[in-house]
Amino acid sequence: MRGVLAAALAGRAYSHSQDVDSSVAAVITVEDDLRFLPETLRAVFAQSVLPGTVVVADCTGGTTQPLATSFEVIHTESGPMSRMPEPKRVDVRLVRAHGARSFGGAVRKALDYAHLSPSVRALWLLHDDSRPADEHCLEHLTEAWHNAPTVALVGAKQLDWSGRNLHDVGSYAAGHRIETLVVDGEPDQEQYDGRCDVYAVSLAGMLLPLETYHAMGGIDDFCGTFVQSCDFCRRVSNGGGRVIVEPQARIAHRRARFEAQRTRAGEAVEEGEPANPSMALFAAWQRYYYTDVRMALWPLVWLWRLVRSLAMAVRLLLGKRPWQAVCELCMPWVALAGLPRAMGARRRVARCGRLPRTQLALLSASRAQIAQWRERSQAFQDQRGVVLLSPLAKAHLRRRLMVRAAAAAVTALACLVGVVALHWPVLRAAGSGSLVSASLPPTGASMRQLVDAATIPWVAGIGTGVPAPPAPWLMVLMAASVLTGGHVAAALTLMFVVSAPLAALSAWALAGIFTRSDIVRCAAGLAWVALAVGMGLYRTADLPMLTVMMFLPAAFAFVFRAVGMRRTEEPVDPRPSVQAAAVAALCFMPPVAAEPQLLLPLVVCFLVFVAFVRRRRATLLLIPVPAAFLVAPTLVNAVRYAPEGSWRQLFGDMTVPQTVSDGAPAALSLPDALLRALGVGHGATALASSPWALASVVAAAGMAVVALAALALPGVLRASRMMWVVAVCGGLLALASCRVAVAPGGDGAVAGSVLPGLALMAMGLLCCVCLVAGGAVSHFAMLGGPQRRRIRLVGKAAAASAARWVLVVAMLCAAGAWVGQGLVRSDVGAVSISSDGLPMTATEAMGRDEGQRVFALRADSSNSVGFSVMRTSRGDLIDSSPVYRARQVSGVADDQGSARLSEVAASLMANSDDQAIATLAELGFSGIYVTAGENAGDRLTANIAASNGTQSVVANAQGTYYRITFSGERAGADGRAGLDDARRSPWRVAWLWCAGLIVAAYCLVAVPHTSRIEQEG
Amino acid sequence: MARRMLRIVTASVTGLVVVAALAALCVAGAVGPVDGAGASGAGAGHEVSQSRLESYCDRSMPLADDADYGDSEFQASAGDLSYAARYAALGSVYDASARPLDASADAADADGAIALNRADGEDGGAFVVSSADGARGHILLTDLLKAGEGTGQVGATVSKAKEGDLRGISAATCVVPALTARFLVTGTQTGATQRLVVTNPSPKATAVDITLRGTSQAGALAMSTGGTLTVGPSSQATLDLSAAASGEDALYVTVASGQTPVAVVVRSVTMDGLTPHGSEVAVPLADPASTLALPGVRQGDRVRLLAYARDGAHATVSWATGDGLVDAGDHDLPADQVASLDLGDAPDGAMAVLVTADSKVTVGAVATRDGADGQQDYALVPAATPAGSGAVALPDGVRATLTLANTTDANTSVTVTTYGADGREDEAKQVELGADGAEGMDVTGSVVVVEDPDDAVAWSVRLTDGGLDKAKVAGLSVLGPTPLDVRQTTVWATQSQQVVR
């Protein structure tokens, strides 16, 4: 700092036209950030009227002893000289002001240390980033002061650092706030130069007579740097003093702290990552508000502001300013924290008296004025962000938009028609029952049962009920059921049908981040859906994986939009968007809910992304939050019981794992995992025997090779590496998943599915392929310009377009190969519609009483029997619990109910057993249903019929239903108590409330604007 | 410039890292830990066996028609009919008791319940009791400790008379309730009465379907009485087969119960005018087979073979004697029709009838002996299935003769054990049998158990005498063995959401 000061003194221009006013002492406060000080000092020393003393207050603590220097100025009058001009001295002192908490505090400390001479009658206060905009600033200020000696203080007009645009010209009182009535940033055309008496002025550049200073007892620290000028001026005004602004005195103020160029500690902030000062600003204004209100009213005001903060938070969220919404919600509690100091400050303000109403009216801004000011501000904002386009350019953009939309619609429609046509026999009967396949149990649940299953950590359909965290995908099913009006079975069909066009649109959106070529984007959408078909997701009705395919690309697309890394057609640079971040967060919820194992690579990818993106890093880290909250019970359970093997549940999902498709845990390599995903058997012979499989593998390898080429492209280095990291993480996940046992199978364990990891990898590779396709932005170009250059440009464009067409054809061939493989793969238990189920008598009984259960048996052979606890008419899908399967395979599934039911099933298979029926009655079962099967089923029915306590009610082609006729107490063992405990558990309530509020907040931010580009914070 | 170099270097390094990672993924087969959990698989295996055995033991033989008309010479009378029953439970038994049919199911100490007792301190003994309460049938119940070979319950009831219309011996083993039962009964000509008695010991009512096949035509007979019988809980119902299908030489009866298992017996009484030609109680037959042995005949019996083959068969019949087989002829059995084959008198040394057919057949033999004044008594000789361990309870008051027939052509040996009236083991004897050979011996005691580890020997117990020989009354009955094998199976039970689709 001394160096800067010395340089400023040395660089001072020698001039004879400068005068010195020894009754004014300039006080300049300086902190760690020295970027603006040289300009300020130069401007101060270039004034036509120099202050007699210049005190530089060092707030950093680097100055321990005050330093003093001086220079002399000889003032030559303009007229003929009457006598020898005498040199006048200007004292420059560098004093310490360490430990000051605000500008006012720094001034006070400086005055303590500076020991000003008694001739000083006024202070000229300057921030280190507020420079006098011209040479006559102090002259105008002192002139105004001398012309109106009764004024309490004189303020200056505040401009921006360039000196051209206005910040404020004094402010007026409005309610318990201050309004400047000046549009921040409008050019200075002397439109406000008529102002004189105002309510408050800014401290920067203020000429403060020492009388006023001492009368007010100094500048109060309480309101902080941003608002202490308003507080000081308020006390002055309330005490009857006059506050005037001198519009001719122009101060160019950088407002470094306010505009987040400086941290709270006073250090400089790098360009490009401005911090948000909203918290300090809101707190400061709140203090002003409370000190303006009588202390007796404070409790009521606090309650009112508490309610208001909620409403304001919602409004700010809708306005895409989430950090300010958070600040708004914190404000009432900050007010409570600052209560003691606030009381003292209020007393000081109250001591100054009260302004009479007529006087206040003169210094207030009326409602009409404020409304007018708001309109003008809005108009100013509107015109700032607009880029003017010619009508031809606009027409071009509009045409591009329509072509794009048409291409997307055609792709989506093609996928929808394709999938519906492939599965028409199944879908035709969809209205009568539920979708079912070997890995997807059918469902006959009602909406109420689904909601209970999704939110209560209790699985009611296993044994007599087991405590287990709910499978997160049930929330997705719940949302889909809301769309179908509460019909859960119809929701399954809806998801099946709608997944194809939505997945195509998702992939189309993600491809659009990297390339604007319509054909490449459509080909990417088709390839993505073809991959879904090739992985057998439609054949086996793997709805959780279809959810992943639907939402994962869209989520990543919005992530890129959120950080502003995308190609655009409009002639503006892509801006980061908080709304896109919120949409991305919401889009991440379904895939993570469907396949919780995706959370692991996503966390890694996001950490890598934080290193790669240029801006909005904090936003990036907030994106996985709703997804993490949604799967919180699963995560907590996995971590808490990890030593008992509960972590395996992360690798399972709601479909029932099959040994034939997922195999046993084995150490696979990536090509093996790909073969397993495509449904091809192990080894080279299986590959060679099926041409479609060979073609699919070749297509996948080709895609990987083209994606590798993306690494070498200049200009997309960050994007290519980010997507390759995603792909590698997906591959790692696939290889990890196939090594983990997630469910017990027929003989041994079943490994986790490789599909989620491979889908993530395929998405990453697809994006890199789109990167290779290049930007392909067709800008609007006016005709005209040199001919040769135009031909060259056209030639280049044609070559690029031809290469793009080759790429598109390759992608379509790959898509065709995958679809072919998907059609020929033989999956046991393909999708069908199940309209059977329990007979109507049984379902009616269950409908009447929630706790009714039916014990279902199916004889697989003469010594093996399958049993199930039915609480709906089929299945049920909502009782398929990956947590329970993980516990089974880890050997810790020891629920009593299932063990007893297993014994009952076995004994009924072998002999008639009255005790077994009595056990069933005790456990709360009202009937037994035997599914019709082979001959072994006859023996089972004979045994059940022969046992006491059963009564055959219905016997049809699907099976036989027996009612259990044991009456009497069914005490306690039927699991209702456990269900009630789980329902009332405080953790559940806390989880639901937290997740609900977070999702609601994100939804508010994600709701699309109707119009203008707002300033996003 | 330096920034550009830095960018190039960073780009190349990151690119190489990515390529290396991809290569590692492709080659990383057989590397890395594999989760070894869950070696046991889904589902749980359970050893299941019956823990409670139940059978129905018939009451004393009632008169076919006890209406009073005419004078005392024409009225039917039971004469000095006496009844004896023996119940026994063998093996790892916890408790055994017999309760009357019409007593409530739960009361172990109901009116008239009889507990089977075992001699104190005897671990290897049997629970035995004998009873003379012939007024009503009894349900024999045994609670088992664990299943296995050599564990089971047996019972036998015998009614004998020296005077009256029921002269002779009629005996039957206790019948295990089942959902289906098959019988071959002697004919329904004039003077023969066949009554089908269905007992439902469970608390659920059931409806029973009966089909008959006879010797006069192929296919099911149209029954004059209708073929469905409803039996209430813990009660009996009777169908008169000779009224349903009269004029047949033999009947093949199939009984199928709809809801609960029922115990079915056929009581047959044959009269020739006023002379009794025998009475017998028929118990359900074993499953059809292609090789059947019917032990229990002796020289001097007039033997008639009843056979039924659903699709027709060609059967070879021979006598098993102590010295080998004696041929008794080839016969063609018509399809879906009962055949009544007269084999004539049993030759010397004959112990059993052996039937070999080219497809599965059901056979039963009727052995008749003559007494004084034209009185006859016959016994229904059941086809005995070789089993690892079997037993017959021996009621008081009759002489029991054991007949063993080796159905294979290899030497075999069995162990014959008899138990005393108090349940203590009396005697255990090893008996050797040659190929296709047969042996007969008298047995005394309360229960006789035959252990046949090779599953080769068919055997039965023939009841004669009981004081009837001295009065020159023919009395004859054959009891087939009850296998002492409570099945224990391992059943695999899996919980799955896909049971009802």
User: By the CB < 8 Å criterion, does B491 face chain A?
Assistant: yes
Give pLDDT tens digits for A702-730. 999 999 988 888 888 889 999 999 999 99
Region A121-149: what's the mean pLDDT? 90
Give pLDDT tens digits for B344-399. 898 888 999 999 999 999 999 999 999 888 899 999 999 988 888 899 999 988 99
**Quick one: three-class SS letters along B337-363?**
EEEEEEEEECCCCEEEEEEEEEEEEEE
Identify the pLDDT of residue B30. Answer: 65
* Continuous H helices in B119-254: 241-244
Domain ranges of chain B: 49-489
Chain B positions in Cβ-Cβ contact with residue A876 (cut-off 8 Å): 497
Are residues A665 and B490, on separate chains, in Cβ contact within 8 Å? no
Q: Which of these ranges, A400-409, A687-696, B330-339, has the smallest mean pLDDT?
A: A687-696
Supply the mean pLDDT for chain A: 87
Spatial contact of A914 and A949, defined as CB atoms under 8 Å apart? yes
**What is the identity of the amino acid at B327?**
D
Q: Which two tokens stand for residue A556?
A: 């990543």
Are residues A902 and B7, on separate chains, in Cβ contact within 8 Å? no
pLDDT at A645 over 50: yes
User: By the CB < 8 Å criterion, does B24 face chain A?
Assistant: no
Residue A762 — very low, low, confident or very high, per pLDDT cuts 50/70/90?
A: very high
Burial of A979 (0-12, 13-18, 19+ CB in 10 A): buried
Give pLDDT tens digits for B201-247. 888 889 999 999 999 988 888 888 888 999 998 889 999 998 888 88
pLDDT at B107 over 80: no
Cα angle at A352 between A347 and A356, to 5 degrees? 120
- Three-class DSSP category at A475: helix
Residue A86 — very low, low, confident or very high, per pLDDT cuts 50/70/90?
A: confident
- Three-class DSSP category at B199: strand
Identify the pLDDT of residue A1016. Answer: 44
Region B49-65: what's the mean pLDDT? 85
Please give the C-alpha separations between residue A561 and each of A567, A580, A606, A711, B318, in angstroms, as whole numbers: 9, 6, 14, 21, 96
Among the partner residues A668, A732, A836, nearest to B501 by beta-carbon distance = A836
Identify the pLDDT of residue A1012. Answer: 47
Identify the pLDDT of residue A372. Answer: 92
Identify the pLDDT of residue A1013. Answer: 45
Please give the C-alpha separations between residue A296 and each of A16, A238, A759, in angstroms, as whole numbers: 60, 19, 64
Chain B positions in Cβ-Cβ contact with residue A889 (cut-off 8 Å): 37-38
Spatial contact of A987 and A979, defined as CB atoms under 8 Å apart? no
pLDDT at A70 over 60: yes
A948 CB-side CA count, 13 A: 15
Sign of CA dihedral A138, A143, A149, A155: negative
Residue B478 — very low, low, confident or very high, per pLDDT cuts 50/70/90?
A: very high
Chain A positions in Cβ-Cβ contact with residue B489 (cut-off 8 Å): 863, 910
Supply the mean pLDDT for chain B: 87
Region A814-830: what's the mean pLDDT? 86
Residue of A nearest to B200 (CA): A946
Identify the pLDDT of residue B112. Answer: 64
Spatial contact of A871 and A853, defined as CB atoms under 8 Å apart? yes
Chain B positions in Cβ-Cβ contact with residue A858 (cut-off 8 Å): 499
Please state, for a pLDDT cut of 70, what percent of chain A lies above it: 95
Chain A positions in Cβ-Cβ contact with residue B40 (cut-off 8 Å): 744, 891
* Helix or strand run (H / E) with residue A25: strand A19-30
Identify the pLDDT of residue A1010. Answer: 61
pLDDT at B336 over 60: yes
Region A78-86: what's the mean pLDDT? 76
Integer-rounded Cα radius of gyration of chain A: 38
Among the partner residues A436, A671, A748, nearest to B38 by beta-carbon distance = A748
Give pLDDT tens digits for B91-102. 888 888 888 887
Please give the C-alpha separations between residue A462 and each of A881, A919, B225, in angstroms, as whole numbers: 9, 16, 51
Identify the pLDDT of residue B362. Answer: 93
Give pLDDT tens digits for A219-236. 888 887 788 888 899 888
Integer-rounded Cα radius of gyration of chain B: 31
Sign of CA dihedral A6, A10, A13, A17: positive
Give pLDDT tens digits for B135-168. 888 898 888 888 777 888 999 999 999 888 888 9
Within 948-977 of A, beta carbons closer than 8 Å to B belong to 948, 950-952, 959
Give pLDDT tens digits for A384-420. 767 777 888 888 888 989 999 999 999 999 999 999 9
Higher pLDDT, A504 or B328: A504
Residue A965 — very low, low, confident or very high, per pLDDT cuts 50/70/90?
A: confident
Identify the pLDDT of residue A117. Answer: 85
Region A470-493: what's the mean pLDDT? 94
Residue of B nearest to A953 (CA): B259
Render the burial of B249-274: b for 16+ CB within 10 Å, e for the rest.
Answer: bbbbbbbebebbbbbbbbbbbbbeee
- Phi, psi at A915, each rounded to 5°: -65, -35
User: By the CB < 8 Å criterion, does B20 face chain A?
Assistant: no
Are residues B499 and A867, on separate chains, in Cβ contact within 8 Å? yes
Within 247-276 of B, beta carbons closer than 8 Å to A belong to 259-261
Q: Which of these ranges, A781-785, A859-863, A878-882, B77-81, has the smallest mean pLDDT?
A: A781-785
pLDDT at A935 over 80: no
Give bridge partners of residue B268 from the DSSP assignment.
B194, B280
pLDDT at A1017 over 50: no
Q: Which two tokens stand for residue A149?
A: 């000696």
Give pLDDT tens digits for A255-311. 877 777 777 777 777 665 667 788 888 998 999 899 888 889 999 999 999 999 999
- A797 CB-near residues (< 8 Å, 6+ apart): none
Spatial contact of A767 and A724, defined as CB atoms under 8 Å apart? no
Are residues B31 and A667, on separate chains, in Cβ contact within 8 Å? yes
Sign of CA dihedral B120, B123, B124, B128: positive
Residue B494 — very low, low, confident or very high, per pLDDT cuts 50/70/90?
A: confident
Chain B: give the shortest CA distance to residue A468, in Å.
17
Q: State the CB neighbour count (10 A cutoff) for residue B444.
A: 13
| Complex ipTM value | 0.78
Are residues A905 and B493, on separate chains, in Cβ contact within 8 Å? yes
Q: Which of these ranges, A54-68, A326-340, A720-734, B117-131, has the smallest mean pLDDT?
A: B117-131
- DSSP codes, A178-222: EE--S-TT-B--STTTT--B-SB--STT-EEEHHHHHHTTS--ST
Region A566-587: what's the mean pLDDT? 85
pLDDT at A123 over 70: yes
Spatial contact of A936 and A862, defined as CB atoms under 8 Å apart? yes
- Expressed in angstroms, the distance from the first to the final Cα of chain B is 70
* Continuous H helices in A541-598: 543-562, 578-594
- DSSP codes, A804-825: HHHHHHHHHHHHHHHHHHHHH-
Region A569-596: what's the mean pLDDT? 89
Region A927-942: what's the mean pLDDT? 82
